[in-house]
Structure 1
Amino acid sequence: MVHVPGTPLLALRGICKRFGAVWALTDVELEIHAGEVVALVGDNGAGKSTLVKVITGVGPADEGVIEWNGRPVRITRPRDAQGLGIAGIYQDLALCETLDVVGNLFLGHEMGSTGVLDEVSMERRARELDLLDTLSIGIPSVRVPVASLSAAQRQTVAIARALLSEPRMLILDEPTAALGVRQTTYLLDLIERLRDRGIGVLLVSHNLGDVKAVADQVAVLHLGRNNGFFSVPTTSQEQLVSSITGATDNAVTHRTARAGEGAM
């Protein structure tokens, strides 16, 4: 599907999700454009994980509309999201530590025939996509077990594996939670490279320093509802904290905040 300039890559309209009598999400709105980093922030229990599950098809919405490139779509299972070009990388990374880097990159999508893995072709394919050279953070060899890599290097392998499918949107769930300062700097630089490649990025994070460093827009959830959309260059960290904690109620303006720049 050809992307229409100016049209959000992904748009959520009035998304609701309930678990029994509990409403985890109520009338949630969100837009992500190609080549844009949108940070999704909120306190524990705000609904961030639930919203990510809606987008990735792990926990489909009960109400609302999901639009992809301006057209309504149904995402009821992970395969639906993957078919659109949505890839997610979660805190556990889902890597097999006993396999080497190449083995993890192609895990579940191995190349070969007659039951024999073609590791040479897999490594060549990865290098053709410029993944290992461009995204690596000092990985000594693509043949070392993932268990021997640092947290940042493992994160890089997980991202490279997601990029092998050439996604148009990438979801990063707390990607710097287990990283040190230097490793975090490398990863934030990587996110900027992904944006430069035209990939839409949804960054789920508690770290407002990371958010201010790489995000273009911030969407705040509070108790399962929107509590503001903010442009990063014109919004202070204090404003974001107030919205996250519920000290300020921005829910009534969330539908027009992106269109009206003066609303910030």
Structure 2
Amino acid sequence: MTTAPTTAPTTGTALVELDDVSKYYGNVRALEGVSLEVHAGEITCVLGDNGAGKSTLIKIVAGLHRHDAGTFRIEGEDVSLASPREALDLGIATVYQDLAVVPLMPVWRNFFLGSEPTKGAGPFKRLDVERMRATTRAELLRMGIDLRDVDQPIGTLSGGERQCVAIARAVHFGAKVLVLDEPTAALGVKQSGVVLKYVAAARDQGLGVVLITHNPHHAYLVGDRFVLLKRGLMAAVHTKDSVTLDELTRQMAGGSELEDLRHELERPSAT
């Protein structure tokens, strides 16, 4: 049985709103008629299997690709983003699964990568290393991240710790919306729990969070809204109080399709 999408109640102007958005690559439909809302202090989870359209959705919100149809609004204003820099200037920070870090550089240098403060002028202008070290340490502690040493190469951190540094960096640089691309995909249970804790911390800082994942258990732990994608289409929309974890998992796993497969794979009864 297919569950009809239910519309989540809204509170105030959404930080990000996609209304009936579509994206095509030639004759290939990547997304069609997708809608979602992201509100301050809430986590919107986008779930789907490989090929569901999650990556395309990220690229639209992050400014990598323009949408072909529908409406994309940021704080109520219609936009068509031309670049990731434009998205960042409007308060949308995206943390990708493969994390754009320089492994051999220290944590503080990666924290400020591309936005390094300087001191002095003219030929005496130089990086303000002391400020970057102190700010990195303070911002990580503010998010509850207590690293042993911000001078250690970021490549020596665990995958979960690197994700947490990226989240703290986005909060520090004024992001209003944080888009996280499968942040727990390559992590074990303990590290996944650490990352989800800091995702919730970003929400508690007042950010609107978009969590892209194929794991309904992780989504249900922190999510307020759930958008399920299937082959570029919306399969369902739920709020936390309108769906159980079991039902969300069933829909994510294919529901009736799995039941049909189970019947096909059953051993024939002995005669």
TM-score (norm 1): 0.86
Distance in 1 (alpha carbons) for counterparts of 2:227 and 2:83: 24
User: Which residue number in structure 1 is paired with residue 160 of structure 2?
Assistant: 152
User: Which residue number in structure 1 is paired with residue 7 of structure 2?
Assistant: none
User: Which residue number in structure 2 is paired with residue 204 of structure 1?
Assistant: 212
1:122 paired to 2:132: yes
User: Which residue number in structure 2 is paired with residue 176 of structure 1?
Assistant: 184
Q: Contact conserved, 2:93 with 2:179, CA < 8 A, in 1?
A: yes
Cα displacement (A) at 1:134: 2.9
Q: Contact conserved, 1:57 with 1:80, CA < 8 A, in 2?
A: yes
- For 2:13, the aligned partner's letter is T
User: Which residue number in structure 2 is paired with residue 72 of structure 1?
Assistant: 78
The structure number with the bigger radius of gyration is: 2
Q: Contact conserved, 1:58 with 1:76, CA < 8 A, in 2?
A: yes
- For 2:247, the aligned partner's letter is Q
Deviations 1:174-221 (A, max 9, x none): 111222222222221111111111100000011111111100110011
SS state at 1:59 partner: coil
Equivalence map 1:136-147=2 (5 Å): 137-147=145-155
User: Which residue number in structure 1 is paired with residue 66 of structure 2?
Assistant: 60
Identity of aligned residues (%): 39
SS state at 1:228 partner: strand
Distance in 1 (alpha carbons) for counterparts of 2:52 and 2:45: 14
- For 2:164, the aligned partner's letter is T
Deviations 1:67-115 (A, max 9, x none): 1111212212112211110000011111111110110001111111445
Cα displacement (A) at 1:237: 2.9
User: Which residue number in structure 2 is paired with residue 111 of structure 1?
Assistant: 117
1:231 paired to 2:239: yes
Cα displacement (A) at 1:121: 1.3
Distance in 2 (alpha carbons) for counterparts of 1:220 and 1:135: 29
Distance in 1 (alpha carbons) for counterparts of 2:180 and 2:142: 18
1:39 paired to 2:45: yes
Deviations 1:124-155 (A, max 9, x none): 3335xx42213354421011111211111111
Distance in 1 (alpha carbons) for counterparts of 2:33 and 2:189: 37
SS state at 2:108 partner: helix
User: Which residue number in structure 2 is paired with residue 258 of structure 1?
Assistant: none
**Residue segments in structure 2 that go unaligned for 5+ positions in a row:** 1-10, 258-271
Pick the aligned partner of 1:216 from 224, 240, 247: 224
Highest RCO, 1 vs 2 (Cα 8 Å, sep ≥ 6): 2
Instruction: Count residues in correspondence.
Output: 244
SS state at 1:17 partner: strand
TM-score (norm 2): 0.84
Cα displacement (A) at 1:164: 2.4
User: Which residue number in structure 2 is paired with residue 253 of structure 1?
Assistant: none
Q: Contact conserved, 1:137 with 1:152, CA < 8 A, in 2?
A: no
Distance in 2 (alpha carbons) for counterparts of 1:216 and 1:182: 22
Distance in 1 (alpha carbons) for counterparts of 2:256 and 2:240: 17
Pick the aligned partner of 1:10 from 16, 28, 49: 16
